[in-house]
Amino acid sequence: MIALTSEAVGARLKELRKEVKVTQADLARLLGVCQSSIQKIEGGKLSSEVEYIQMYCDVLDVTVQEFLDVRVDDVVKRQKKRAATRGPRPVRRGEAA
């Protein structure tokens, strides 16, 4: 099972918003929030309440299932990228080096 992280929700929101050619400002206005909130959500810096996912779907004219279509390949790529930037994991006591 894939965890639905703030980053995943934000990335999907941005992807779908761009597909339907809606600006952050327009999306913010339609949702009744400020544009900086949309920027933070898309950047994974602000988590979304579950209720907002349905609102995103309504505004972007997609189903919740379509919105939550998290691609496993994308998640794996992000995890590998994060691991590469963090460097090697420290060896814990009792583990082979």
Provide the residue-wise pLDDT of the chain in tens; the chain has 97 residues. 445 788 889 999 999 999 999 999 999 999 999 999 999 999 999 988 788 889 999 999 998 888 887 565 666 666 677 677 766 555 666 666 5
The answer to whether 39 touches 24, Cβ cutoff 8 Å, is yes
DSSP label at residue 2: -
Counted domains in the chain: 1
- If we measure between CA atoms, which residue out of 61, 46, 53 comes closest to residue 12? 53
Q: Which domain holds residue 54?
A: 6-86
* Domain membership flag for residue 95: no
* Domain membership flag for residue 97: no
* Domain membership flag for residue 30: yes
**CATH code: domain of residue 30:** 1.10.260.40
Predicted confidence at residue 49, as pLDDT, reads: 79
